[in-house]
Structure 1
Amino acid sequence: MPAIQPLPYMPSYADLIEVAYKKERVSGRRMARQLGISEEHGLKKVMEKIAGAQPLHIFIDQRRQEAADAAAKIVTRKQEKANARIAATAMPDPNAWLAWFDGASHPNPGRMGIGGLLKNPQGELVASISFSAGQGDSSEAEYLALLAVLQAAVDASPHKLIVYGDSRVVLDDVQSKTRGAPILSSHRTHARQLMAQLHDVRFIWIPRRKNDVADALSQQAVILPSSYVPP
């Protein structure tokens, strides 16, 4: 006797409403008025058309998974921001040297300026960096600024260094254990070579408003002559 195959799951109106976008619900109501059918059947026809050859219940499951993934990303971003706020407001190691970097590009891509500063544990300014860096985009400008402060730190040879920046792209890339963005690979390689010459380096993301001095130095550098040569 052949096995009895279970009937496919039939989505309810509540299922459709749960995953339908606003414009799809509007289209369903419009179709219901035009065809003289219920809003449930109108929405079902709209969703079936979007799903195409895919069974509607599988399409709904995919929409639910997409929503769950998006919610998880939001939670992760909020946690990252919370961690960054904690790190930014925490008292730094009193024995650590502190560095800030920022890069600007006007327009983007366009003329690049880099800015940065390095302070010793006593709070004394050891290096102030403001150079024009030719043509490029904002990510390249940020990386060149990071290279400049790392080179200044290598020259000063601190026992411990904390580097602050507002570029998540660069901070994530330089710390990534994977290959990272190919377009930034040469800068990443150079940065890690400099980091290898330092005893202890820590990177902390901060919002732009807390990176105002380095930002001002980079904005100032945009109008300077193109004299920067990477260290």
Structure 2
Amino acid sequence: MPEFEELLIAAYKSEMVLSRRLQKKLGLSPCDALVQVLQHAAGTHTLDELLRQRRQLKQDAVTRRDTHRREKAQAYAAKKLLAQPDAAAWQAWFDGSTHPNPGRMGVGGILKSPDGAVVRISRAAGQGNSSKGEYLALIAVLQEAVRLQPKKLQIYGDSQVVINDVMQQGGKTASGLESHRAQARQLMAQLNLLSLTWVPRHKNAEADALSQQAIKLPA
């Protein structure tokens, strides 16, 4: 007969409920009541076979959980390392403005090389809403980066919607931006080490000013 502790570990919550009912109804001990419930659950198999099967299931679940945690920790560490300021990396910022919303769009961007060279982007981008404007700003920066081919590029923007969407975070995609997402990801695939990080608006002031300025430019 298996130890009562082993039975408790193997039993599901619903089986524990049934065993307590059986214990009260028939006046059985907790162990005997649980044995009867588990024997019924085993069906054509023996109780020992059921316990072995459930031990294996629990071990598999623990292994999967540990693997998932390890992979998640590794991915987080890699992302954190990539996002850290690097004196040898190019830095870039993007921002899109719309006035009104939807309305005229302007895109702004800055790319700075490790040796101090600066590329600024400021141009009108037609008509659309704020999310489209942000995406077009990111695409403009990525196009310039593809031309320059930096060994490492760290891009910053204040649009959580666009950053989550292009990085495919959160399990959902932004509706109506499919073509912009595809274009941005195609450009990203042509670059080497690339990170994309959200920053609050006050840390994106220069790109914002360039995008605001661009709204006034001819389309």
Normalising by structure 1, we get a TM-score of: 0.57
Equivalent pair of 2:101/2:130 in contact (CA under 8 Å): yes
Return the offset for 1:179.
6.1
Does residue 1:123 correspond to 2:126, yes or no? Answer: no
Q: Which amino acid aligns with 1:200?
A: L
Query: Paired residue for 2:130?
Result: 138
The residue number in structure 2 matching 1:156 is 148
Opposite residue 124 of structure 2, the aligned amino acid is S
Q: 2:158 aligns with which of 155, 166, 175?
A: 166
Is the CA contact (8 Å cut-off) linking 2:161 and 2:174 kept in structure 1? no
Match of 2:176 in 1: 183
In the alignment, structure 1 residue 207 sits paired with structure 2 residue 182: no
Aligned ranges for residues 58-97 of structure 1 at < 5 Å?
92-97=85-90
Separation (CA, whole Å) in 2 of partners of 1:98 and 1:108 = 29
In the alignment, which of 180, 196, 213 is matched to residue 189 of structure 2?
Answer: 196
Aligned mates of 1:205, 1:91 — CA distance in 2: 13
* Unaligned ranges ≥5, structure 1: 4-86, 227-231
Which of the residues 190, 213, 216 maps onto 1:220? 213
CA offset at residue 94 of structure 1?
1.2
> Where do 5+ consecutive residues of structure 2 fail to align?
1-20, 22-79
Q: Which residue of 1 aligns with 2:92?
A: 99
> What whole-Å deviation, never above 9, does each CA across 1:125-175 have from its counterpart, x for those lacking one?
0x2100001100000000000000000000000011000000000000000
* RMSD, aligned α-carbons: 1.9
Matched AA of 1:153? A
Task: Tell me the CA shift for residue 95 of structure 1.
Answer: 1.2
TM-fit CA distance, 1:121: 1.2
Q: What residue in structure 1 maps to residue 7 of structure 2? A: none
Aligned length: 139
Are 2:110 and 2:207, in contact at CA under 8 Å, matched by a contact in 1? yes
Aligned pairs for 1:15-94 within 5 A: 92-94=85-87
Paired residue for 1:9? none
Distance 1:168 1:200 in 2: 21
Query: Which residue number corresponds to residue 50 of structure 1?
Result: none
Per-residue CA distance 1:97-142 (angstroms, 9 max, x = gap): 11100000000000000000111112320x2100001100000000
| 2:120 aligned partner, one-letter code | S
Identity %: 59
- Distance in 1, Cα, partners of 2:116 & 2:198: 20
2:212 aligned partner, one-letter code: Q
- Please give the secondary structure, in 1, of the residue aligned with 2:177: helix
